Structure formats: C-alpha cells, structure tokens
Amino acid sequence: MTAPSLQVHPTPAEVAAHGAMLLATWLRDSVERHGDAMLAVSGGRSPWAMFELLAGDTTVPWSHVHLLQVDERVVPDGYPDRNWTHIAERFVDSGVIAADHAHPMPVTADDLHAATAEYSALISALCPEGAIDALHLGLGDDGHTASLAPRDGVCDVLDRDVALTCEPYNGTMRMTLTRPCLDRAVHGFFQVCGEGKRTAVEQLLAGDTSIPASLLAGDRLLVLADAAAAPQRPAST
C-alpha cells in the first residue's frame, strides 16, 4: 500500500488556509474538466476554520458543486454532535451551496441498510465513475479516518461505497464511506493538527496497517499536518 505524502505547515491556521486553497483548486479544475464537482468532507471541530475560508472563496463556481459527507453519526436531527449541523451552517444555510446540491447522509432513515444503498446510488449518479473530486479526511489519535475505526468490520467492506459500522464508536453507530469509495477520489488530504496526533501520523506515513487510515491507497492523498503533529526529526549530533 502506498503511503501518502506529507506537507507540514507551522500552525493549524496555516494548515486550514492551505487545505482551503487545495480544495478550491480541485473544485475549480473539476468544473472546468467535466462541468461539475463533488466535494466530500468529514466532521469534527478541526476543519471549521478551513470550511470558513473555503466557503468564502468566490473563485469557486459553487453553483456547480455538490456536497457529500464522508461519515455521520446515527443520531436524530439537531443532535449537537451531528457532523452535518456545522457543515450545513457553513455551506448550505449561508447560501454558498444550494440545498439541492447538498447531500447529508440519511442517518435518520427507518431502514439504515437501505439508506446506505441509496447514498451509494447517489454517489454513482453524481460522480463520473463514482469518483469524488475533492476529499477531506481527518485522522484520529487511534488511527481512524472517516468512521473506519480500529477493529471494526466496516474496514473490510469492499463490495459497496457506503456502510454502517459494526459496533458503536465513541457511543454511536456511524454511516461511512468505505475504502473503495475513498480510494477512487481524484484528490484528497488528511487534515491533522496537534501533538496528540503525531503517533498516528507516524504510523500512517510508515504504512502501518494496524491503523485503518493506512488501509487507504495513499498515492492520491496528502497529509497536511501542523508542526505539532508532524513526526519529529532525529536530533542532530
């Protein structure tokens, strides 16, 4: 498995700025190439500053951009930790992306297994060859990415693009894009900040397949890390 390449920026703010720039570039290029663009983003607090910058970039042809989720908690609408809540605030409620171009994961459906199939079908319908154009991923201190958690059988799902976790992760079941879907992305990066993530970054760059993030094909992925999360260089003698 090819490991992703590493880019180190001094501060989280500079990671956010560079990430927003990359996503904007990839979205513009995609629209020029085939008329529209598919952006898939992860949740958590880390990307909030980056989302703010990206949503404010008027060079992106937003009317041609579709917004997808990488993963989501299976919890009711309005739940404070729903990834979509903050994503929608930045991109949809503000009017940057039209509501009919915004596609939250259907985690409140009565039949969640059918809902995963429906979201897979949506991706196939929207994305040429099922390939997301611009992918944003996080990296947990335990090496998880998306909702591919350590020792969860969802990491081994290879026959569909969207699946449910086999076990709750941090107290909730999750819906997530699977490895095949993530691997088809045209461009993507892990956004990683903070000293607590350094070991996971080291494992990812070493191709340590004991962590789920290393199971992804890294040839089209970057790691955007701040100085605190980046591997330490050996002290000079």
Instruction: Using CA atoms of 230, 204, 81, 17 in order, give the dihedral in degrees to the nearest 10.
Output: 40
d(CA 63, CA 2): 35
Percent of the chain at pLDDT > 90 equals: 90
Q: Decide: 179 and 190 in contact? Cβ < 8 Å.
A: no
What local confidence, expressed as pLDDT, does residue 81 receive?
A: 86
234 within domain boundaries: no
In this prediction the pTM is: 0.96
80 within domain boundaries: yes
What local confidence, expressed as pLDDT, does residue 54 receive?
A: 98
Task: List the domain range (segments joined by +) for residue 115.
Answer: 5-226
What local confidence, expressed as pLDDT, does residue 236 receive?
A: 39
- Over residues 10-39, the pLDDT tens digits come to 999 999 999 999 999 999 999 999 999 999
- Over residues 101-128, the pLDDT tens digits come to 999 999 999 999 999 999 999 999 998 7
- Over residues 46-89, the pLDDT tens digits come to 999 999 999 999 999 999 999 999 999 999 987 888 999 999 99
What local confidence, expressed as pLDDT, does residue 215 receive?
A: 97
Average pLDDT, the chain: 95
165 within domain boundaries: yes
Indicate whether 153 pLDDT > 80: yes
Buried b (16+ CB within 10 A) or exposed e, 2-22: ebbebebbeebeebbbbbbeb
Q: What is the tally of structural domains in the chain?
A: 1
What local confidence, expressed as pLDDT, does residue 78 receive?
A: 79
What local confidence, expressed as pLDDT, does residue 68 receive?
A: 98
Where residue 220 sits, what CATH number does that domain have? Answer: 3.40.50.1360
231 within domain boundaries: no
Indicate whether 180 pLDDT > 50: yes
175 within domain boundaries: yes
Indicate whether 234 pLDDT > 70: no
With bands split at pLDDT 50, 70 and 90, how would you rate the model's confidence at 235? very low
What local confidence, expressed as pLDDT, does residue 213 receive?
A: 98
What local confidence, expressed as pLDDT, does residue 176 receive?
A: 98
What local confidence, expressed as pLDDT, does residue 156 receive?
A: 97
What local confidence, expressed as pLDDT, does residue 175 receive?
A: 98
N-to-C CA span, the chain: 33
What local confidence, expressed as pLDDT, does residue 72 receive?
A: 98
Strands 71-73 and 174-177: antiparallel
d(CA 93, CA 107): 20
